[in-house]
Amino acid sequence: MSGEIKRIDLIKKMAVFQDFSWSSAVRDEGDNVVEFKKINIFYGRNYSGKTTLSRIFRAMETGSISDKYTSPEFQLSFDDETNVTQKSLNGHDQVIRVFNEDFVKENLRFIVDDQHTINSFAILGEDNAKLEKEIKQHEIDLGSEEDKSGLIGKMLEAVENHRLATKKHSERSSGLEGKLRDKANKTGTGIKHNKTFGDANYNLPKIKEDIKTVTANSYTPITFEQVDKYHELLKEESKEKIPESTAFNLKNSTFVTRAKELVEKKIQAADPIQELLNDAVLEAWVRNGREHHKNKRTKCAFCGSDLPADLWEKLDKHFNQESEDLRIAIEALLTSIDVEKSRIPNLLKIKSSDFYSNFSSDLETLGKQFSAQSTAYCKTLESIKEQLEKRKSDIFTPLIFDDPTSVEQELNAVRDFYEELRNESNQFRASLSAQQSEARAALRLHEVFTFITDIKYADECKAIEALKKAMDKAEKAKSTAKAEVDTKKAKISELKAQLKDESKGADRVNDYLNNYFGHPFLSLKAIEDTSDDTSTGYRFEVTRNNKKAFHLSEGECGLIAFCYFMAKLDDVETKGSQPIIWIDDPISSLDANHIFFVYSLINAEIVKPKNYKQLFISTHNLDFLKYLKRISNDYKGKGENKVKIREFFLIERNGNSSCLSLMPCYLKRYVTEFNYLFHQIYKSATTESINDKNYKDFYSFGNNARKFFEIYLYYKYPNQGMNAETLSYFFGDEKVPAILTDRINNEYSHLAGVFERGSTPIEVPEMTTTANFILQKIREKDLDQYSALLKSIGVKDEEPQTAVEGQ
């Protein structure tokens, strides 16, 4: 249910309101935005836009706006945070009643054309006490917004509970939403700006989708090792295809077979020399020496003795061809084994840089395996060599060959492992882009998972869901309470319909005309409408001395129109509804007495009985404004929440555009100009020094003092007004004050005869002294008036400063 209107947020393209913004224009001295109060008074000169404002409110009453406006825009805000615009005129549930020229044209066509009548309206009749009693009881049950009683009070409480529940839910939801939004795209920290796994289009809906993913039972969080792995993967750039490695072609098996054959081969010397057979070292020495001497020397190179003639024949028989062939075969095999050993380290070149980083662990394992199996393979070859060397050293003695454990298969398996990794790396190269996309997605989901864990997302959702249930419950209670209010109102309307009496509407208008304005000869008459057989209503007719009136004066038209509006506030559609009321300049063409009576009627029938929710009154008349300042200035609320229920506004037109603002203090504070002038003299008397804030008080002092004396002395000496003689009467025998005052009134007011006065600074001490003289004399001559003047400017009665002669 809409509450009071807080402000008119904006008005565009509506007559003189071209581009008005409340938040920019309606601010107090502390630059705070001011809002409407319960009672709101507007002052504006003719053509400043008062009626335009009233038409905005009337549009909310009637549900339509004049088609004479071209593309008008406006928005009003209520204190329950709802608003109404030109497109949603029915977006409120308040009863609004507006008095302006449009109301007059619509309801009192007689005023425009005396061939027409005045629309009738029904007020509650007075003949059915039982129904009235029943209606009264229903109205008590219904209660009111003012005292928050009955069903309305229950509904207001439900509305407030729903508002608070909605606020709590909104704040908690907005808080979580803000965290998600920041995580999604806040500059610097948001996922959107993460160069590793971010998405340039990442936003709030996307993070919500990711949250659904990571909170599903199917999601498994990745480990820190996987996180590191994915980060490394994202650093990868496409590598060249790795070529196939060369087959090892290991010869271990061949070496074993051949070595066994040579080591175990049996040979026999033709005529062996036993001594050599018994000493293998000696035999080796002889064999080597044989190569150095045969066919080369006749003497021993060691001892110098002559070599025996049959030496070579004996040695040839010992070292026969078979033994030499075996020796040569062993040496050849040893050379082959050495060649094999030398190529083992270079069998497999493992370059980590050729592979992607996700293969680093496997490559490390591969390297260790290759190193271990290469070493084992070399040890096998060394075992074969040792046995060959041993047989070589004792060529005539066969040995049993010790077959070493073969690692040839294991070493080839290392190459197979390498080939697997190589093929995988080459395949990975083809799918790198897809895998990096998967890595980015995995890292992003990991980031989201970590984030919702940190903020306790699940707990937040549970809390918000609980608040949502509370809000729904409060909304249901609000709907129930509203339905009860609507049902009760419908019942009251049904009963009131049985009491409709349109003839009484005219009587109510006549009561106002006679009792408030003293017009016994001018009245409204309810005439039964017999224009057709089906008509059962009435029409109103203006009469003068019981005859239909013609040629009404403008003032008479205004009085009838306003009394008609006031009476219509008691019709069956309005009475008891606490309407929002706008009264636009109701005193046009009225004299001073009638202006006072209009004020009295508003105060007595609307303000004092509190038959309204909000009241808005606009005027161009300063006398009427003076009376409006007397309207209730009560407070509502308690303690820090205590606020006044009345506010004053000014409507000003500048060229072709108007603006609404707070009413200046000088216009709002003073009942008459006389009070204002007295206040200016008082401020000049009590100010010790001139500064940037108060210099205007002194520059205006001459004019203010002259105008004050013109008013004061005119009423004190109506036969003379203000002149040198009456100034002397006022100040008595003290000539200095009279002379000073006369000088200030003339030289400082309008430079009478002293043009050079305008080229010199204002003399503050002289003015302060004169201002104190004036206050002191008023106090001496009329203490009651002095006290009343002080009270009118908000100052407690006090003794003015004593002027020192010569100052």
Instruction: Show the 3-state SS of 488-521.
Output: HHHHHHHHHHCCEECHHHHHHHHHHHHHHHCCCC
Report whether 122 contacts 502 (CB < 8 A).
yes
Q: What are phi and psi of 500, to 5 degrees?
A: -60, 135
Give the pLDDT score at 595. Answer: 84
Could you give the C-alpha distances from 704 to 292, 399, 579, 683, 696, in angstroms and in order?
148, 143, 44, 11, 11
Reported residue count of the chain is 807
* pTM of the full structure: 0.47
Say which DSSP state 216 is in. S
Give the pLDDT score at 487. Answer: 94
Report whether 693 contacts 687 (CB < 8 A).
no
| pLDDT tens readout for residues 644-703 | 789 999 998 888 899 999 987 767 776 566 777 888 888 888 877 777 666 666 767 777
Instruction: Show the 3-state SS of 598-654.
Output: HHHHHHHHHHCCCCCCEEEEEECCHHHHHHHCCCCCCEECCHHHCEECEEEEEEEEE
Give the pLDDT score at 666. Answer: 66
Give the pLDDT score at 567. Answer: 85
Give the pLDDT score at 695. Answer: 63
Give the pLDDT score at 616. Answer: 96
The dihedral built from the CA positions of residue 298, 304, 310 and 315, taken in this order, carries a sign that is: negative
- Max CA separation in the chain (angstroms): 189
Which stretches in the chain have pLDDT values below 50? Answer: 1, 534-536, 736, 751-762, 802-807
Give the pLDDT score at 506. Answer: 72
Give the pLDDT score at 34. Answer: 94
Give the pLDDT score at 415. Answer: 92
Give the pLDDT score at 802. Answer: 44
Give the pLDDT score at 241. Answer: 85
Q: Is 733 exposed, middle or buried (0-12, 13-18, 19+ CB in 10 A)?
A: exposed
End-to-end CA distance of the chain: 67
Give the pLDDT score at 568. Answer: 86
Give the pLDDT score at 636. Answer: 67
Give the pLDDT score at 715. Answer: 79
